[in-house]
Amino acid sequence: MTTEIQATAAASGANATERFRENKKTAASSSQERVNLLASRVIKAINDTVLEEKVTYDEYNAFKAWLIQVGEDGEWPLFLDVWVEHSVEQVANENRAGTKGSIEGPYYVPNSPRLESPATLPMRENEQGTPLLLQGSITNLAGEPLPGATVEIWHADDEGFYSQFAPGLPEWNLRATVAADAEGRYMINTMQPAPYQIPTDGSCGRLIAAAGWHAWRPAHLHLKISAPGYQLITSQLYFKGDEHVGDDIASAVKPELILDPTPRTDNRGREVSYDFVLDPE
């Protein structure tokens, strides 16, 4: 089991770096003015910390060695998405009135298989865990249904592993793009994801251990909801009662995004409704 988890952690970091390069390669570069401003501020924040906390050469060298190791482990995507992305998301979505956003994280893969609602996510025949039915409507701010909407969903399995980032999982396990029906409603059958521990055997894990933090994210579903003429929202949904919903290492939980599923009447797992609201373009 330990070997399996370690293999997974190493593979996850390397895959996340590769994926990032593939997905974000069209990103526009910033102006000289902006680079000057932002780089100067980050460098100043580090220098202020050194001066105020009287950082020693030992500490400086430990920091330097750790930064080198983060690169060698391929863990920059993990580091940034856990400790920085939540603020970027807050700024990006602060003017929206619809469904709250949350971080994308390092494990999104575009172009997942397209399914019509009601849908069952691709999963193994013996997929472990509690079945979960997630359903609801997708509307605009006026409450009008958006029949052309889609719900992209991806999440970890019952052991906390993501397909295409952990070894041994089918390519699109627990990933799909679900098209809403003619009434703008969606219905998705999946398996309850497990709480997720960011890889502990790499440099991010070493930082967490050295600082006495924990590595947990609460169990979560990742989503991208979109419809023609509306702004795509990237978000996550969490589960009431989860031990880590109040202290997510990635600081990505919002109270509006916490589900409270109930047992299904047919006794097949749990079900919950969640209505998405999209802002116009």
Q: Tell me the residue nearest to Fe ion as measured from the CB.
A: 105
Determine if 105 is a binding residue for Fe ion (CB under 5 A): yes
Determine if 82 is a binding residue for ligand DHB (CB under 6 A): yes
Determine if 81 is a binding residue for ligand DHB (CB under 6 A): yes
Cis, peptide link before residue 167, omega less than 30° from 0: no
Task: Report the C-alpha gap between 115 and 80 in whole angstroms.
Answer: 32
- Tell me the per-residue interface mask from 172 to 201 with ligand DHB, x by CB under 6 A, - otherwise: ------------------------x-x---
Query: What is the SS3 assignment for 210-242?
Result: HHCCCCEECCCEEEEEECCCECCEEEEEEECCC
Q: State the minimum distance, in angstroms, from the CB of residue 184 to ligand DHB.
A: 27
Determine if 78 is a binding residue for ligand DHB (CB under 6 A): yes
Site stretch for ligand DHB (CB under 6 A), options 102-110, 116-124, 170-178, 180-188: 102-110
Site stretch for ligand DHB (CB under 6 A), options 27-35, 47-55, 98-106, 238-246: 98-106
Decide whether 82 or 225 has the Cβ nearer to ligand DHB: 82
Residues 6+ apart with CB under 8 A from 166: 8, 11, 12
Determine if 98 is a binding residue for Fe ion (CB under 5 A): no
Task: Report the C-alpha gap between 166 and 159 in whole angstroms.
Answer: 11
Strand stretches in 28-140, DSSP E: 114-116, 119-120, 131-140
With CB cut-offs between 5 and 8 Å by kind, which of ligand DHB, Fe ion, none does residue 106 bind?
ligand DHB
Environment class of 102 (CB within 10 Å of its CB; exposed 0-12, middle 13-18, buried 19+): buried
Q: Tell me the residue nearest to ligand DHB as measured from the CB.
A: 105
Residue count at the site for ligand DHB (CB under 6 A)? 11
Residues 6+ apart with CB under 8 A from 267: none
Determine if 217 is a binding residue for ligand DHB (CB under 6 A): yes
Determine if 224 is a binding residue for ligand DHB (CB under 6 A): no
Task: Report the C-alpha gap between 191 and 134 in whole angstroms.
Answer: 10
Considering just the CA atoms, what is the radius of gyration of the chain in Å?
A: 20
Could you tell me if 153 and 222 are in contact, meaning their C-beta atoms sit under 8 angstroms apart?
Answer: yes
Decide whether 196 or 276 has the Cβ nearer to ligand DHB: 196
Determine if 250 is a binding residue for ligand DHB (CB under 6 A): yes
- What residue ranges bind ligand DHB (CB under 6 A)? 78, 81-82, 103, 105-107, 196, 198, 217, 250
- What residue ranges bind Fe ion (CB under 5 A)? 105
